[in-house]
Amino acid sequence: MPVVTPDKYVEMLEKAQAGNYAFPAINVTSTETANAALKGFADAKSDGIIQLSTGAGEFASGLNVKNLVVGSISVAEHIHRMAEYYDVWIALHTDHCQPKKVDSFLKPLIQETARRRKAGLPNLFHSHMYDGSELPLDDNMKIAKELMKLCKENDIILEVETGVVGGEEDGIDHSDHPAEKLYTTPEDMVGVYEALHPIGGRYMLAATFGNVHGIYKPGNVKLRPKILKEGQDAVVAKYGKEAYFWLVFHGGSGSELSDIHETLEYGVIKMNVDTDTQYHFTEAIVKHVDENRKELTHDGDEVANKKKFDPRVYLKLAEANMAKRVTQACNDLKSTGKTLFKR
């Protein structure tokens, strides 16, 4: 059963923090991209996190349905079945749910896990991200506290965000936010602890330190990882070592490896990877099209070559290429070879 139990997920995150490594959290949109993520983690002998956004859920449900909850459940159930054939632990997560979609996305998915638990089945998702970063902190935490209670009841970890991740991804555009919003303050981190800790349960914090969604050339993203240390120090100074956060790194594309490694020293245990894996999936398809263009479509009296246009041909190539990028992410985050799974 390489899909984690709630206790195994907590153990994964605790060991990552104690060992100064983190898990790639790979965004997927389909069974093909989910298979690529599974392969990449298995090839690296790394446990990992697979996640879906609201847009991914809608896409996965198809053009006629366009139901973000149904699509997310469908892909999650696929991962539950397929993960049994891999020798690494896999956790399922949802990514970037803004306040306006809490009632139409997060709560129905939490309810689905509650339904499964009542029937004696395992959690469908093991953690969910509520992104209230567009709100003032008090308003952000008001919604987070409500979700924290629901998550606690169902052994689900809640991820919250303060500050804003710049750029645009999956229809969420923060490119016009003022620069100071890209950096979480120590006061914000203390505020998150004070809001959520009394409720109990486990949570992660996506604190921002100049992160930007999207794809950029190396060196173009100006990160300040020490912001994470300053925030952790402030919380620990006031509430002790038990207040030390599990931190999440969003928007890692274009980041220097030295910056990534520095964040691991400050409590980052999860880094979202989406843009780069999307690129590698598509890159393999583009190469196939470029190399076989004349055989992919009918042209006059010449008919296309079924062995070239069969979607299984290029989707296998895409899966393999994306899996390589997932494995690279494991190497970058130092989780390679550290799976907790044993037969």
Q: What are the residue numbers of the active site?
A: 95
Structure tokens at 32: 């093909």
Phi (first) and psi of residue 114, to 5 degrees: -60, -40
Decide if 295 contacts 304 (C-beta within 8 A). yes
Cα–chain center distance at 109: 16
Decide if 141 contacts 196 (C-beta within 8 A). yes
Secondary structure of the chain in HEC code, one letter for each residue:
CCECCHHHHHHHHHHHHHCCCCEEEEECCCHHHHHHHHHHHHHHCCCEEEEEEHHHHHHHCCCCCCCHHHHHHHHHHHHHHHHCCCCCCEEEEEEEECHHHHHHHHHHHHHHHHHHHHCCCCCCCCEEEECCCCCCHHHHHHHHHHHHHHHHHCCCEEEEEECCCECEECCEECCCCCHHHHECCHHHHHHHHHHHHHHCCCEEEEECECCECCCCCCCCCCCCCHHHHHHHHHHHHHHCHHHCCCEEECCCCCCCHHHHHHHHCCCEEEEEECHHHHHHHHHHHHHHHHHHHHHHCCECCECCCHHHHCHHHHHHHHHHHHHHHHHHHHHHHCCCCCCCCCC
